Amino acid sequence: MTTKNLKDAKHCSAAKRPPKLLVKGYADQRGQRWYEVRLGREKALLHQGELIERAKIFHVLKDRGVTIWRPDDKKEVLEKLEELDHFPTRLIFDRPGWAGGQFANASGRVYAPGGTRKGLVAFQTSPHKCATKGKHAEWLKQVAEPLCGHLIPMFFVMAAFAAPMLEMSGLSANPGFELAGEGGKGKTTTMRLMASTSGPAMLGHQGYITTFSMTPAAIEQSMRMHSDMPFLIDEANLYNQGGSAASNRRMMQDFSFAMAQGTTKGRYNEIDQKRYWFICVTSANAPLHELMAQSHQDIAGAAIDRLNTIMVPAGDAGVFGPLAAGYENYRQFTQALEAGMAEQYGTAMSKYLRKLVAARHEDEAGLKAKIKSRIDAFKVAVGISDSNGSDVRVAEAYGLVYAAGVFARHCGVLPKGFDCMAAAQHCYANFRATVPLRQSLADRLRAIAARPETMTIDRRNLPTLTDDQMQAAGAFLRKIKGQQSLLLTAEFGRTMFPDWNALKGTSEFRNLNRSGSDDRGRGRHCRVRANKAMDWLYCFAMPE
């Protein structure tokens, strides 16, 4: 036999040889036992509870990618499972998201700090869910950078990065945002932009976005695959399709509470309810507050606070701002974005998770402190004190999005041109324009007065201020006719009081407003700087 024939014979013999079968044991971070079954290159993990019904073991292994069909192999697996007595400690992911300072996405990729051993993935993965394509630099160039100045899409892209940060934020519930308005105004494009951070954005049901064409039980199961990640559900009009108005109202009410809680329902065969953190984002033609109009006021308010509606502005621009140079119309602009998303996706979240995991490993306490500081800074910026739990909860959700945007921009995940505070404030004001604050006007005025930027003015010694310095201060305390008054620039006043129309009909507003001769206007002329005779300012009497 020639040398070549000898090699061919060995190759054929190796090809016919059955793949090697191995079984290992591990104890996870909670002390529970796991069994790794490896057949050739394929492997899967079994939890100790899955060994109770021996007949189902091989069905579970098949579902996880390891098919064992030879009777001898099955017998060998069962024998090795029974004989195993060595269970070294190992980090095990039984679902996507955070575990032991590491992060696993739904596609099974593990992000671990440098120099540490990566944890093992035990859950059934979805390879396409968090797939990546292209390069992050190209995603920035083709997708993210063209969005600078378009505040609503910017906010939703930032919200994607808020999801992995949520666990460390101190928030007690999952934030939820609904983008509502007529069709053809950029709702679906915005959802795709958000999805492009994490996975395929243009592949329909095979991509990152899910739809409401699911039962409530199926939506609950989807929570698991979106743990610590953005949970995007398009087309709310498909939810409970064909149901009555009352039925739709109850379904969306239950949906908003379920998403905020992130917990599965208790079941007979599941002792423990599961808790999942995520950012929920939906789209709809009709806003939630219209659907909930016939519900009890307190219940409707609670549901709306948990799923905040951001309305798509009227007009050709829709969700976008001024049309960028080089485009003839908004359709051409969105087509360019969609072409970019088809070729560039998933890389932004991958880079973000590497940076976030490293920052958490290096100084978790410091990272949490920075997140809290930025959330608090946002609350101060929009004039929210901690006196009303509902208003605080809403403001903190937007503050978290702001904090995540700043972190992503600092790490180079988002472009430098992303004005994170402006985007968060814009969408917060959009929500408040349709849903008034519950915090009293007096408390809001006190919170604005307590801002570090607010200036106290002595009319006998007026400061010299440029227009930019006026806008940076935003608010001024000054006595008018012997009464301490709070004055706000027009731009800052619009930000602080997006619910102006709802406010001006209240008795509290009539008692405190000092704008105009009838106390119902938006402003009055008053002097707060030496270099200008008068400025037009919102004016309120400071409450005692």
Domains with residue ranges and CATH for the chain? 21-121 (no CATH), 136-265+274-316+323-434 (3.40.50), 441-541 (no CATH)
Instruction: Say if CB 110 and CB 93 are below 8 A apart.
Output: yes
SS (H, E, C) 329-364: CHHHHHHHHHHHHHHCECHHHHHHHHHHHHHHHHHH
Q: Pick the range with the lowest mean pLDDT from 19-33, 149-163, 259-273.
A: 259-273
Looking at the DSSP assignment, which residues form a beta bridge with residue 102? 99
Write out pLDDT tens, residues 219-239: 777 899 999 999 999 876 555
Q: What is the sign, positive or negative, of the torsion defined by CA atoms of 136, 138, 143, 145?
A: positive
Answer whether residue 155 shows pLDDT above 50. yes
pLDDT value of residue 519: 44
Q: Give the model's pLDDT for residue 385.
A: 74
pLDDT of residue 221: 79
For residue range 188-206, what is the model confidence (pLDDT) as tens digits?
Answer: 999 999 999 999 998 866 7
Is residue 145 over pLDDT 60?
Answer: yes
pLDDT digits 0-9 by tens, 432-468: 877 766 778 898 899 899 888 899 999 899 999 999 9
- pLDDT for res 211: 79
Structure confidence by residue, pLDDT tens digits, 319-353: 998 888 889 999 999 999 999 999 999 999 999 99
Distance CA 441, CA 455 (A): 20
The confidence score (pLDDT) of residue 14 equals 47
Report the half-sphere exposure of 517 (CA within 13 A, side-chain side): 0
Tens digit of each residue's pLDDT (9 = 90 or more) over 369-413: 999 999 999 998 888 877 767 788 999 999 999 999 999 999 999
Residue 365 parent element (H or E):
helix 347-381
Comparing 1-15, 46-60, 361-375, the range with the smallest average pLDDT is 1-15
**Confidence category of residue 298, pLDDT binned at 50, 70, 90:** low
What residue type is assigned to position 343 of the chain? Answer: E
Cα angle at 239 between 238 and 243, to 5 degrees? 100
pLDDT number for residue 194: 97
Structural contact between residues 442 and 508, judged by C-beta atoms closer than 8 angstroms: yes
Task: Tell me which of 29-43, 89-103, 153-167, 505-519 is least confident.
Answer: 505-519
Q: What is the pLDDT of residue 242?
A: 58
- Which of 131, 122, 96, 348 minimizes the C-alpha distance to 222? 96
How far CA 275 is from CA of 221, 272, 328, 356, in Å, comes to 12, 9, 48, 22
pLDDT in tens, 78-118: 999 999 999 999 999 999 999 999 999 999 999 999 999 99
More confident residue, 226 or 496: 226
pLDDT tens digits for range 63-78: 888 999 889 899 999 9
What is the pLDDT at residue 478?
95
Is the pLDDT reported for residue 502 higher than 80?
no
Q: Output the pLDDT for position 205.
A: 66
- In this structure, the chain runs to a length of 544
Number of neighbours of residue 510 by Cβ within 10 angstroms: 13
pLDDT above 70: percentage of residues in the chain: 88
Average pLDDT, the chain: 87
Nearest residue to 280 via CA among 264, 247, 257, 296: 257
Residues 6+ apart with CB under 8 A from 276: 95, 97, 174, 223, 224, 226, 227, 228, 262, 263, 264
Residue 6 has pLDDT above 60, yes or no: no
Residue 451 token pair: 């801002």
Are residues 539 and 524 in contact, defined by beta-carbon separation less than 8 angstroms?
yes
* Sheet of strand 176-180, all strands in order from the earlier edge strand to the far edge: 210-211, 229-234, 278-284, 176-180, 308-311
Mean pLDDT of 268-292: 77
CA proximity to 477, closest of 387, 385, 383, 540: 540
CA 394 from centre of chain: 13
Query: What is the DSSP code string of 467-494?
Result: HHHHHHH-EEEEEETTEEEEEEEHHHHH
535 touches 471 (CB < 8 A) = no
